[in-house]
Amino acid sequence: MSVRIDDTAGIEGGAIAALIDEHESLVRPRLETLWRYYRNPMESAGGATGAGAGRRLAQRAGLPPRLVGRTPGDDDRAGDREVVIENDIAWRIHTMVDFMFGKPVRILSTARDGATRERVERTLDAVWEASGGVALLQDFALLGHVYGHADLVLRLDEAGLRLLGRRGAPPDAGEIAEHVRIELVEPTRGVPALNPNDYRRLDAYAIHFERELNEVERTRGVGAFGRGRATPTRRRRSVVTEVITGSVRRVYEDGEIVEESAITLTGGRVPVVHVQNVSQPFRYSGLSEVEPLIPLQDELNTRLSDRASRVTLQSFKMYLAKGIEGFERMPVGPGRVWSTDNPEASVQAFGGDASSPSEDAHVKEVRDALDKTSGVPPLATGVVQGRVGNLSSANALKITLVGLLGKTERKRVTYGRGIAEACAIVLGALDAAGALELDERDRGVRLEWPDPLPSDVLDDTLAAKRKVELGVPTERVLDELGYQPSDAGVV
């Protein structure tokens, strides 16, 4: 659907509208396919009848026509076909997210002065916590893993921050957090306008979506005796487009400007942070964890469906009776006796479940391919299969999960850079507003990532003791162990 966008900060509105149209027609369908394969939602089956009627899983769309029919009409009459859908994608994505942000990440200031470091860390902790805390980071990682990238938009109440800066007394972290929000944008809604000379720079950023209002659309219907009456049909929907540049923010609703505000605290930079899940050279979007798993997931579902059909046909014995009158009406069960005067009569049993080694081997190979492609073996979720060696030590467990741990470390670079970039924009805006005056050299941060694997209390305690001996502040060591300074006597 075309939208009307005015020229904004030197960028043609027609160019932004064209980007939105391109996103809606080309990019968004692909992103929605990735989400459907991850989420595998249950959907309406239309006029289907029989077992499973009224509900179908999204991954069914990847099955071959011989299982689901060649046309939508055939699909509606395919109730007698055995279809098995096993979502082997979602639990792998959830495991990757757990390894990334299963535990809180510490954001540490690199400011030169100790008091400044403490104040910066307190402020950033309050801002991230007010924006959602670790839950925001988990959602951030989930969208990035599914779509390949995700964006963070910084919402700054510039008037409120300037008021804090003019107040005289330094504001505390909680007051600052009331005027700063870090918001996650789903890639299906975010439309970047990249700089023609550098794909890593944004000239503008649009957030485009359709929302339902608490209003009802009404149409004129024909009531009793031909009199017209207002008939409610559905909730009214509106199209919202928000355009953000380095100097202005405009919000359109159904093509009309409903909100406009200036952006002055970011130094001419678009307050948007883009993060790739796994970096892809010379591309804005990153690599999705779902995309390479789709063909393997389709193959697995196809083979499981084939096996279900075979089991249905072979699990129960069938009988071929010759020369026995009324055999079709006789019950079959233990203790039953069939009799006949026909010396040529016979009863022949056939069917019953039979092993299929090639089928079992193929399903196993598909599952192994899913493990290798994703880097997430079942062991990562606590499922121990077969002989996996001696896992009594942390080092042995790390060797077993080396693929997942290596991929996690690689992604910590991209997500960590995005978090640090968001913190730098926040600190720069606070300095420009006078709410937290900082030299540019004191705005850097570093991230301290927790070990994703379970830790041993004794090992952690010994490591903490060594840190104190090396001169690390006791308060920081206690905080890493999860204790408050007042609990020092307990330690």
Span 443-472, average pLDDT: 82
The DSSP-derived string for 328-396 is: GGS---TT-----S-TT-EEEEEE-----HHHHHHHHHHHHHHHHHHS--GGGGT---S------SHHH
Q: Where are the alpha helices (DSSP H) in 41-109?
A: 65-68, 72-76, 90-101
Cβ-based burial of 81 (10 A; exposed 0-12, middle 13-18, buried ≥19): middle
Enumerate the domain spans of the chain. Answer: 455-491
Q: How confident is the model at residue 469 (pLDDT cuts 50, 70, 90)?
A: confident
Span 361-381, average pLDDT: 88
Does the model's pTM come out above 0.85? no
Angle between the N-to-C axes of helices 28-39 and 134-147, in degrees from 0 to 180, rounded to the nearest 10 = 110
Residue 111, pLDDT above cutoff 60? yes
- d(Cα 241, Cα 252) in Å, to the nearest integer? 5
- d(Cα 378, Cα 325) in Å, to the nearest integer? 56
- d(Cα 286, Cα 151) in Å, to the nearest integer? 12
State the number of CA atoms in the 13 A half-sphere of 277 facing the CB: 24
Look at residue 2 in the predicted model and tell me its pLDDT. 63
Look at residue 76 in the predicted model and tell me its pLDDT. 46
Tell me the two tokens of residue 122. 């307190």
- pLDDT tens per residue, range 123-163: 999 999 999 999 999 999 999 999 999 999 999 999 999 99
Percentage above 90 pLDDT, the chain: 50
Look at residue 490 in the predicted model and tell me its pLDDT. 45
CB 112 within 8 A of CB 438: no
- Phi-psi domain of 267 (left: phi exceeds 0; alpha: psi -120 through 50; beta: other): left
**CA distances (Å), 165 to each of 179, 261, 393, in order?**
12, 20, 53
Place of tokens 């390949």: 148
Query: What's 450's DSSP letter?
Result: P
Look at residue 144 in the predicted model and tell me its pLDDT. 96
Beta bridge partners of 261: 249
Look at residue 183 in the predicted model and tell me its pLDDT. 97
Q: How confident is the model at residue 45 (pLDDT cuts 50, 70, 90)?
A: low
Span 195-212, average pLDDT: 91
CB 38 within 8 A of CB 90: yes
Residue 49, pLDDT above cutoff 80? no
- d(Cα 426, Cα 443) in Å, to the nearest integer? 9
Residue 267, pLDDT above cutoff 50? yes
Longest dimension (CA), the chain: 112
- pLDDT tens per residue, range 343-356: 888 888 766 666 77
The three-class DSSP label of residue 44 is: coil
Look at residue 252 in the predicted model and tell me its pLDDT. 94
Higher pLDDT, 58 or 232: 58
- pLDDT tens per residue, range 372-412: 899 888 877 766 665 555 555 666 677 778 888 889 999 99
The three-class DSSP label of residue 172 is: coil
Span 259-265, average pLDDT: 93
Q: How confident is the model at residue 8 (pLDDT cuts 50, 70, 90)?
A: confident
Average pLDDT, the chain: 84
CB 186 within 8 A of CB 253: no
CB 274 within 8 A of CB 419: no
Among 421, 447, 440, 432, which residue's Cα sits nearest to residue 202? 421
- d(Cα 439, Cα 432) in Å, to the nearest integer? 11
Q: Report the chain's terminal Cα–Cα distance, integer Å.
A: 63
Among 149, 118, 116, 154, which residue's Cα sits nearest to residue 423? 154
- d(Cα 249, Cα 242) in Å, to the nearest integer? 7
Residue 52, pLDDT above cutoff 90? no
